[in-house]
Amino acid sequence: MVREAGKHTGSVISTGGGVVLREENYAPLHQNGVIFHLTRNLDALPTEGRPVSQSTNLTELWEKRKPLYQAFADRTVNNDGTLADTLEKITEELNML
């Protein structure tokens, strides 16, 4: 699915956090776009309907995946504010490219 999604341009692809666990996912996602890593305070992350988040300590999961998220990301944006705030930050980052 990642390879197919990566072929498209002009789209937003929202992946699950586990996409970074497979290094081969990087190239297809990066080939036609910019990869954003959205950060949020762990206390504010929803866990309902997310089996991994419900069965794993979020701090441990974050510490394990943090270097992978950083390696994949072209840009990192804080997502602790409103949706409008986050979209504004993403737009600003895209305008700097």
Domain boundaries, the chain: 2-95
Could you report the per-residue pLDDT of 13-27, keeping only the tens digit for each?
999 888 999 999 999
**Per-residue model confidence (pLDDT) at position 53:** 78
CATH 3.40.50.300 fits 2-95, yes or no: yes
Please state the length of the chain: 97
Strand blocks (E) in the chain: 36-39, 75-78
The first and second tokens of residue 40, run together, are 């949020």
Q: What is the pLDDT, as a whole number, of residue 22?
A: 94
Residue with tokens 């950083």: 70
Q: CB–CB of 86/77 below 8 Å? A: yes
- What pLDDT is attached to residue 44? 86
Residue that has been written with the tokens 């069965």 in this structure: 55
Specify the pLDDT at position 80: 95
- In order along the chain (97 residues), what is the average pLDDT of each group of 10 residues? 90 89 94 93 83 82 93 95 96 94
Rounded to 5 degrees, what angle do the CA atoms 40, 5, 32 make? 85
Strand residue runs (E) in 10-94: 36-39, 75-78
